[in-house]
């Protein structure tokens, strides 16, 4: 009995033993798993940035209500459930996007007897206004809108028409000349309608004036005329602010007017935008109405934007172009929330592009002849009418068009900028903002901060390590080493706080003092050490054997005080009393209070212990017989130091520097607090910067999950991770080798 229980007990012990073994092994492997998991998770979030966009057909059906006339415009609402077909007979057919069934057909209030001659979408496009130009010199503005309601917890979308400028047709031309071309900018307060008749282009501006007592608003009207260019007019566009007017003629001439003063339009520039012999076949705005996309008969689409030149003149400037196919471009549609656009060519190919990233995202053939296309407001669906009267409904999956290798790492010519540049500017308050995701300024800032930090930390840390490991008295070393290592334990948030709120203003006031400190203190130390030889023997002996370092603390304090106080007269003597002003006036170097110098000192302070600790270990563990041998052969301690010890320990010192550098690259709080965090690319030590890490800390909390911005921030984290991984792994491998070498010596 007892025997068997004992047996069970023995078995239980063995089971416990092997359970523990597997548990511990799993735990050990867990560390590797953690590192790998961090890496792959970051990669997993970043990966969708580089997936190609897709577009696939989901439905084809007959065009609804054929009898209502030819299609002028197709459009879809936000949810891609209801679409509208505007016809040339003044009808609007609302139909179900999935099935093509008519939901509602409404007639626009076109006055009897008038015929629709021209038609266009009002700017901004996402407001849903359209304008009809009539044969009797009148115009009608109508808006299609969609109410969403949730009866019984089901979404129901009800379309309707609305007349923002009143249901009565507007008389644009008193003489009743037919309106051949029309364009409009519609907003709550001021609307502008541009109409072209046979003899003139008319700018009509309507300002709503809310009277104090009545609900009704009166329209304040201003008119102005522009002569019709001799080349004729192919298209007229007015931007959503009602500021700039573009008149394009088919032979490639585009005239750009400033119409901010509605009563007197000013011709700013008229320019040929095409090569000879080609024709403009389609013109459209990119979202935000800052860029004009001009499509021509050879299948080339070029982007033109207004650039303010250094002389102060605003001119149209071509910033890039896209080759779609060899066939003429028949339609261009801008996305409503991004800088992407859709192009249709003459043989029924569609292409979706993104202007900033210059990426061709989708290129598909739909049908031989496409008459009308609609791009959904969220740019996730397409509705296309082909020549055979069919409507094609496609889904588009195009989440991150703005990211390409070029937009992240190369110079990009952004809208309204005078030249291509590296810019990081990820968000703004409005929707038509062009996000600028160049990582170069951030990488530059990271390197700049790390460079200046290393400039401060490396000499101090390595020299300290040399002295502490080799020359210092052991009893002093036991105090000094932990003291410097405790520097490393100081929270970086405190260093950053001191750097930002104490050191930065201090240096701003005592810039000359800092420079004189750098020059004078080493000189005084040298003087002191030279003079030290002449001290009486017994005093020298008292401090010999590595206690002389302690003597230098008061020397440095006094020298520092001397350097600071001598800097004021020196500054007055050589730099007119203010070094900062002198830099600005004489050398043109601006001074930013929170700059790379402050970061260098603060982050250097944080990195010193890291480098010191590892380098000191490496130097200290150089086998003693090497040094003793060298000394015995008559070398001085310093010769032994730099010919034997440094050489032997150099891999360890190298790995210390690398680990320190890795730390400086990833440090967040100090740079966050001690710089202005502006992503500028300026090498000057008196300017700030923004680093990758600080950028993540600033922008991550407000970035929308799974948006391009979010994923780019993850990419920044991945870059940091990969960078430090390489450095740390290399450093660790070198250290392991070194350890083996020492043990074999």
Partner 1 sequence: MQNMIRTWFKSGLPWVWLNAAAVALCLVMVIAVLGLVVVRGVGHFWPSSVQEYSYIEDNGSIKSLIGEHVDSSVMTAAMAISSGHKMTKDEDALVQYLVKTGNRDLIGTDFRWILQRNIKTQQEPEDLMVIERREWGNFYGRLVSVKENGRVIATGEQAWPVAQEKLDKALLIFKEIVRLEKKEIGAVNYQLERLRLKQRKLEIDHQWNAEAEKDLASEKVVYDEQYKKYQVQLAELYQKVRQDSLIAKIDNGSELEVTFAKIVKIYQPNAMNFFQRIGYFFGKAHEFLTDDPRESNTEGGIFPAIFGTIMMVIMMSIIVTPFGVIAAVYLREYAKQGFITRLIRIAVNNLAGVPSIVYGVFGLGFFVYILGGNIDKLFFPEAAPAPVYGTPGLLWASITLALLTLPVVIVSTEEGLSRIPKSIREGSLALGATKFETLWQTVLPMASPAMMTGLILAVARAAGEVAPLMLVGVVKLAPTLPLDGNFPFLHLDRKFMHLGFHIYDVGFQSPNVEAARPLVYATSLLLVLVILGLNLSAIIIRNRLREKYRALEG
Instruction: Map the footprint of partner 1 across residues 562-591, applying CB under 8 A.
Output: 568, 571-572, 576-578, 580-581
DSSP codes joined into one string, 543-610: HTTT-HHHHHHHHHHHHHHHHHHHHHHHHHHHSTT-HHHHIIIII-----SS-HHHHHHHHHHHHHHH
Candidates 6, 9, 23, 232: give the one binding partner 1 (CB under 8 A). 23
Determine, following the binding rule CB under 8 A, whether residue 21 of this chain makes contact with partner 1: yes
Q: 190 vs 476, which CB is nearer to partner 1?
A: 476
Which range touches partner 1 (CB under 8 A), out of 39-47, 119-127, 134-142, 389-397?
A: 39-47
- Cβ atoms within 10 Å, residue 460: 17
User: Smallest gap, in angstroms, from Cβ of residue 328 to partner 1?
Assistant: 47
Rule CB under 8 A: say whether 501 interacts with partner 1. yes
CB of 678 to partner 1, least distance (A): 15
Chain positions 50 to 109 lying near partner 1, rule: CB under 8 A, are none
Of 385 and 675, the one with the shorter C-beta distance to partner 1 is 675
Query: Hey, which bits of 273-355 come out as E strands?
Result: 280-285, 291-296, 300-308, 314-323, 329-334, 340-345, 349-354
Cα gap 726→100, rounded to integer Å: 57
CA separation for the pair 745, 449 (Å, rounded): 39
User: Quick one: which segment of 109-117, 129-137, 294-302, 488-496 binds partner 1 (CB under 8 A)?
Assistant: 488-496
Looking at the Cβ atoms of 233 and 570, the one nearer to partner 1 is 570
Determine, following the binding rule CB under 8 A, whether residue 518 of this chain makes contact with partner 1: no
Q: Would you say 140 or 734 has its CB closer to partner 1?
A: 734
Size of the site for partner 1 (CB under 8 A): 116
Binding mask 367-406 for partner 1 (x = CB under 8 A): ----------------------------------------
Interactions with partner 1, residue window 231-250 (CB under 8 A):
none
Number of H helices, E strands in the chain: 17, 31
**Residues 648, 741: Cα–Cα separation, whole Å:** 10
Least spacing, CB of residue 552 vs partner 1, in Å = 4
Taking the complex as a whole, the smallest distance from the CB of residue 404 to partner 1 amounts, in Å, to: 22
| Rg of the chain (C-alpha set) | 37
Q: What span, in angstroms and rounded, lies between the C-alpha atoms of 656 and 460? A: 13
Q: How far is CA 594 from CA 138, 239, 494, 623, 673, in A?
A: 61, 41, 16, 45, 9
The CB-of-557 to partner 1 minimum distance in angstroms stands at 7
360 or 584: CB nearest partner 1: 584
Interface residue with partner 1 among 6, 35, 220, 420 (CB under 8 A) is 35
Residue 419 beta carbon to partner 1: minimum distance, rounded to whole angstroms: 33
Neighbour tally for 710: CB within 10 Å: 15
Instruction: Select from 701, 702, 704, 744 the one that contacts partner 1 (CB under 8 A).
Output: 701
Residue 568 CB, nearest approach to partner 1 (Å): 6
**Mode of pairing for the β-strands spanning 314-323 and 329-334:** unpaired
Q: Would you tell me how many other CB atoms lie within 10 Å of the CB of residue 260?
A: 12
Work out how close the CB of 527 gets to partner 1 at its nearest, in angstroms, rounded to a whole number: 10
Q: Which of residues 602-631 bind partner 1 (CB under 8 A)?
A: 605, 608, 612
Interatomic CA distance for residues 678 and 590, integer angstroms: 15
Q: Which is nearer to partner 1, 317 or 630 (CB)?
A: 630
Q: Please say which residue, 383 or 466, places its beta carbon nearer to partner 1.
A: 466
Selected from 32, 198, 587, 633, the binder of partner 1 by CB under 8 A is: 32
Please say which residue, 270 or 698, places its beta carbon nearer to partner 1: 698
Distance CA 743, CA 745 (A): 6
Q: Which is nearer to partner 1, 422 or 714 (CB)?
A: 714
Work out the burial of residue 371: count CB atoms within 10 Å of its CB; fewer than 13 is exposed, 13-18 middle, 19 or more buried: buried
> What are the Cα distances from residue 639, in Å, to 116, 642, 646?
97, 5, 10
Q: Which stretch binds partner 1 (CB under 8 A): 77-85, 146-154, 280-288, 710-718?
A: 710-718
Find the part of the chain contacting partner 1 (CB under 8 A) among 130-138, 221-229, 424-432, 721-729: 721-729
* Region for residue 664 given its phi and psi (left: phi exceeds 0; alpha: psi -120 to 50; beta: otherwise): alpha
Q: How near is the Cβ of 280 to partner 1 at its closest, in Å? A: 47
Residue 514 binds to partner 1 (criterion: CB under 8 A): no
Question: What's the min distance (Å) between Cβ of 146 and partner 1?
Answer: 24
| Nearest Cα to Cα of residue 121 among 349, 270, 334 | 334
Among 492, 516, 595, 687, binds partner 1 (CB under 8 A): 492
Nearer to partner 1, 20 or 683 (CB): 20
Please count the other Cβ atoms lying within 10 Å of the Cβ belonging to residue 295.
26
Piece of the chain touching partner 1 by CB under 8 A; list 172-180, 300-308, 381-389, 711-719:
711-719
* One-letter-per-residue 3-state SS of 459-504: HHHHHHHHHHHHHCCHHHHHHHHHHHHHHHHCCHHHHHHHHHHHHH
User: What whole-number distance in Å separates Cα of residue 256 and Cα of residue 714?
Assistant: 42
Strand-pairing partners, residue 365, are 349
Please, which of residues 636-695 interact with partner 1 by CB under 8 A? Answer: 636-639, 641, 659, 662-663, 665-669, 672-673, 693
| Residue 156 DSSP symbol | E
Window 450-479: contact mask with partner 1 (x via CB under 8 A): ---------xxx-xx-xxx--xx-------
Answer for the pair 259, 246: CB distance below 8 angstroms, yes or no.
Answer: no
**CB-based contact 254:270 (threshold 8 Å):** yes
Strand partners, 349: 365
Residue 34 lies near partner 1 (rule: CB under 8 A): yes
Which of 19, 683 has the CB closer to partner 1?
19
- φ/ψ (deg, to 5) at 34: -60, -45
Is 522 among the residues that bind partner 1 (CB under 8 A)? yes
Determine if 537 is a binding residue for partner 1 (CB under 8 A): no
Q: Which of 114, 247, 286, 521 binds partner 1 (CB under 8 A)?
A: 521
64, 139, 83, 77: which is closest to 108 by C-alpha? 139
Shorter beta-carbon distance to partner 1: residue 274 or 719:
719
Give the pairing type, strands 424-425 and 436-437: antiparallel
Q: Which of residues 8, 9, 11, 20 is near partner 1 by CB under 8 A?
A: 20
Q: Contact between 199 and partner 1 (CB under 8 A)?
A: no
Taking a C-beta distance cutoff of 8 angstroms, is the pair 92, 400 a contact? no
Stretch that binds partner 1, among 8-16, 83-91, 275-283, 300-308 (CB under 8 A): 8-16
Task: Rule CB under 8 A: choose which of 647, 733, 741, 745 binds partner 1.
Answer: 733
727 binds partner 1 (CB under 8 A): yes
Of 266-274, 373-381, 414-422, 542-550, the segment contacting partner 1 by CB under 8 A is 542-550
535 near partner 1 (CB under 8 A): no
Choosing from 678, 700, 707, 742, the residue that interacts with partner 1 (CB under 8 A) is 700
Does 193 bind partner 1 (CB under 8 A)? Our answer is no
Judged by DSSP in three states, 44 sits in: helix
Helix 646-666 × helix 440-466 angle, to 10°: 140
Beta partners for 134?
116
Binding flag, residue 495, partner 1 (CB under 8 A)? yes
Which residue of 164, 166, 549, 676 would you call a contact of partner 1, by CB under 8 A? 549
């Amino acid at each position: 009995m007892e025997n068997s229980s004992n047996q069970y007990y023995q078995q239980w012990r063995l089971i416990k033993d092997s359970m523990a073994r597997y548990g511990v092994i799993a735990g050990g492997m867990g560390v590797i798993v953690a590192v790998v998991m961090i890496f792959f998770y970051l990669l997993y979030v970043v990966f969708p940035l580089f997936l190609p966009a897709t577009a696939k057909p989901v439905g084809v059906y007959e065009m609804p209500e054929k009898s209502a006339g030819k299609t002028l415009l197709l459009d879809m609402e936000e949810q891609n459930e209801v679409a509208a077909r505007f016809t040339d007979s003044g009808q609007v057919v609302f139909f179900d996007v999935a099935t093509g069934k008519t939901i509602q057909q409404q007639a626009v209030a076109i006055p009897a007897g008038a015929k629709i001659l021209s038609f266009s979408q009002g700017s901004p496009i996402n407001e849903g206004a359209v304008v009809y130009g009539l044969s009797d010199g009148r115009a009608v503005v109508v808006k299609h809108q969609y109410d969403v309601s949730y009866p019984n917890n089901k979404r129901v979308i009800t379309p309707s028409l609305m007349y923002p400028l009143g249901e009565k047709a507007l008389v644009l031309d008193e003489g009743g000349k037919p309106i051949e071309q029309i364009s409009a900018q519609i907003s709550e307060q001021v609307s502008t309608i541009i109409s072209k008749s046979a003899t003139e282009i008319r700018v009509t501006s309507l300002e709503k004036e809310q009277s104090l007592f009545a609900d009704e608003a009166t329209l304040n009207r201003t008119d102005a005329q522009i002569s019709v260019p001799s080349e004729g007019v192919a298209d007229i566009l007015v931007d959503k602010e009602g500021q700039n007017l573009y008149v394009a003629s088919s032979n490639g001439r585009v005239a750009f007017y400033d119409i901010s003063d509605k009563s007197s339009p000013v011709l700013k520039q008229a320019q040929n935008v095409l090569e000879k012999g080609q024709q403009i076949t389609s013109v459209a705005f990119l979202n935000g109405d800052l860029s004009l996309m001009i499509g021509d008969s050879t299948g080339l689409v070029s982007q033109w934007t207004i650039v303010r030149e250094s002389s102060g003149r605003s001119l149209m400037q071509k910033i890039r172009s896209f080759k779609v196919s060899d066939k003429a471009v028949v339609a261009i549609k801008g996305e409503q929330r991004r800088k992407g656009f859709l192009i249709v060519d003459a043989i029924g190919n569609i292409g979706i592009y993104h202007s900033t990233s210059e990426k061709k995202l989708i290129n598909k053939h739909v049908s031989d002849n496409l008459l009308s296309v609609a791009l959904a407001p969220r740019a996730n669906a397409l509705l296309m009418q082909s020549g055979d009267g069919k409507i094609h409904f496609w889904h588009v999956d195009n989440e991150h068009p703005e990211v390409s290798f070029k937009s992240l790492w190369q110079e990009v010519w952004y809208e309204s900028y005078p030249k291509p540049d590296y810019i990081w500017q990820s968000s703004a308050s409005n929707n038509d903002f062009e996000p600028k995701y160049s990582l170069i300024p951030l990488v530059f800032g990271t390197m700049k901060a790390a460079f200046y930090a290393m400039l401060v930390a490396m000499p101090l840390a390595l020299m300290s390590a040399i002295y502490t490991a080799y020359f210092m008295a052991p009893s002093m070393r036991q105090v000094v080493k932990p003291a410097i290592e405790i520097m490393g334990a100081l929270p970086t948030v405190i260093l950053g706080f001191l750097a930002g709120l104490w050191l930065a203003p201090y240096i701003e006031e005592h810039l000359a003092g800092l420079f004189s400190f750098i020059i004078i203190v080493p000189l005084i130390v040298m003087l002191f050490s030279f003079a030290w030889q002449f001290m009486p023997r017994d005093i020298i002996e008292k401090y010999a054997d590595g206690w002389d370092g302690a003597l230098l603390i008061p020397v440095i304090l006094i020298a520092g005080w001397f350097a600071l106080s001598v800097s004021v007269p020196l500054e007055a003597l050589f730099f007119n009393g203010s070094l900062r002003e002198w830099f600005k006036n004489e050398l043109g170097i601006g001074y930013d209070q929170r700059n790379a110098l402050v970061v260098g000192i603060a982050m250097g302070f944080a990195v010193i212990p890291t480098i010191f600790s590892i380098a000191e270990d490496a130097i200290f563990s150089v086998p003693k017989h090497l040094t003793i041998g060298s000394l015995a052969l008559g070398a001085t301690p310093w010769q032994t130091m730099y010919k034997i010890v440094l050489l032997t320990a150099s891999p360890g010192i190298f790995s210390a520097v690398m680990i320190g550098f890795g730390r400086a690259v990833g440090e967040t709080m100090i740079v966050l607090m001690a710089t202005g965090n502006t992503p500028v690319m300026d090498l000057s030590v008196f300017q700030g910067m923004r680093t990758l890490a600080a950028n993540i800390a600033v922008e991550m909390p407000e970035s929308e999950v799974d948006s391009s911005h979010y994923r780019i921030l993850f990419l920044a984290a991945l870059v940091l991770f990969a960078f430090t991984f390489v450095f740390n792994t290399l450093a660790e491998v070198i250290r392991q080798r070194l350890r083996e070498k020492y043990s074999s010596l």
